[in-house]
Amino acid sequence: MSLRLDKALITLLALFPILAQAQSAYISGQDSSRNPITVAVPFVSFAPDSRASAMGDAGVASAPDAYSTAWNNGKLAFIEDDLGFSFSYSPWLGNIVDDMSLNYLTFYKKIDRIQTIGASLRYFDLGEIQLTDSQGEPLGLENPREAAFDATYSRRLTEDMGLGVTLRYIWSNLSGNITGAPDAKAGTSVAIDVGWYYNKELIFNGMNSELSFGAHLSNFGQKVTYSNDSNEDFIPTNLRLGTGFKMNIDPYNSISVLLDFNKLLVPTPPIYRTDEDGEIVYDQNDNPEIAQGKDPNRPLLSGAFGSFTDAPRGFSEEMQEIMVSAGTEYKYKDIFAVRFGYFYEHENKGNRKYFTAGLGFKYQVFGVDFSYLVPQENNHPLGNTLRLSFVFNFDTKDNEAPTAN
């Protein structure tokens, strides 16, 4: 007996809408209208904090904060305080389960004026789940868990530009301690993030303003397997590009607007050849025959770079794979913030479309943020998603060092 560790069968039917759609297509043969991209360990791409998630998951070019490593590690070198840490908690998919949660812990420390280091731990508790074998027979109840640990170095290259690098270790145990499945094991991966950040002060309509740009390549790393090397899945390698504009209305009030674009650098599933009964046709090596698109079982580099041109329906489908995040933030004296946002994903690629809102409060070294997600679709699994974040920032010393060139 072998434990079936397909992402969807164990947990991800309830974890991510796009994966549920993909699994139904996998079982029945083919979905002629939707072609979502599936990945392993999707938790490393979930928005972990309340500030960015309140702005439609836009954060690659926002002002630096304790959560910069999640959105753009190039920003971390521009953070104002000398030392800080934070914690975020979010009950996950509360509409359909009551024991799943995402937790995120971060830490940063400025080495000097131009260098900052950081570390973070992301922990995803999938709750109690009934596992089944390849025939659908129950194997018992388990509590799968996943985690990712990051170490970050961020540096100012000039007064206006910074670069960051993060090394990430990912651990995913979906089978728990279940017996009778000797081929099952925890999946692991090592990945890197590389981020670039640019921020320029300027005068706009007589007001002091800031224009920022950001680029962040995240989760670029080895595939994950839960059984053997012949059954590997891509992790959610992602390219995020965006811009932000902050307008300081007066010494007390400011408004920021943000716009992010995301694309998964993961192979798009091809359209497989089917027979007259709609069943997938297999070749002599027991591989499904491809009618349109490219073989998704490719090496890391080929899969990432080829993801720009491998959609079976051509350029129009490639454009459907771009996700858009837009958000705005009003702040009063850096002690109170109101945030709104919107996230868009094409219906053929997952159909996540939701509004977001949130509040932030800061008192001396302590800050708390709250966000709430409102899907456009009724009874959506992501409905009523809450995130709560606590931040501590300390200005322990005056960081003096040679200025960046």
* pLDDT by residue, tens only, the chain of 405 residues: 233 333 333 344 333 333 333 333 333 345 556 889 999 999 999 999 999 999 999 999 999 999 999 999 999 999 999 999 999 999 988 878 888 999 999 999 999 999 999 999 999 999 888 777 777 777 777 889 999 999 999 999 999 999 999 999 999 998 766 655 556 788 999 999 999 999 999 988 778 999 999 999 999 999 999 887 678 899 999 999 999 999 999 989 999 999 999 999 999 999 999 988 888 999 888 889 999 999 999 999 999 999 999 999 999 999 999 999 999 999 998 899 999 999 999 999 999 999 999 999 999 999 999 999 999 988 888 888 999 999 999 987 654 444 444
- 51-394: CATH architecture: Beta Barrel (2.40)
The domain segmentation of the chain, as residue ranges, is: 51-394
**Under 8 Å between Cβ of 47 and 102:** no
**Under 8 Å between Cβ of 108 and 79:** yes
Alpha carbons 101 and 81: distance in angstroms, whole number: 30
Is residue 105 classed exposed, middle or buried when 0-12, 13-18 and 19+ CB atoms within 10 A define those classes?
Answer: middle
The token pair that represents 268 in the structure block: 């798009």
Residue 84, pLDDT score: 96
Backbone angles phi, psi at 399, to 5 degrees: -75, 105
Q: Which amino acid is at 218?
A: S
**The length of the chain, given as a count of residues:** 405
**Taking the CB of residue 124, how many other CB atoms lie within 10 A of it?**
25
**Under 8 Å between Cβ of 365 and 344:** no
Residue 398, pLDDT score: 53
Alpha carbons 48 and 28: distance in angstroms, whole number: 34
* Residue found by looking up tokens 């309509």 in the block: 205
User: CA dihedral in degrees (380, 381, 384, 390; nearest 10)?
Assistant: -140
Alpha carbons 389 and 379: distance in angstroms, whole number: 25
Kindly tell me the number of DSSP H helices and DSSP E strands found in the chain: 6, 20
Residue 107, pLDDT score: 97
The token pair that represents 83 in the structure block: 């030392």
The token pair that represents 376 in the structure block: 């456009």
The token pair that represents 328 in the structure block: 């705005």
**Under 8 Å between Cβ of 50 and 62:** no
User: CA distances (Å), 339 to each of 16, 327, 373, in order?
Assistant: 25, 7, 12
Alpha carbons 246 and 23: distance in angstroms, whole number: 42
* Residue found by looking up tokens 């694309």 in the block: 263
**Under 8 Å between Cβ of 114 and 400:** no
Alpha carbons 83 and 79: distance in angstroms, whole number: 9
Question: What is the DSSP secondary structure assignment for residue 319, as one 8-state letter?
Answer: H
User: CA distances (Å), 275 to each of 29, 136, 279, in order?
Assistant: 10, 26, 6
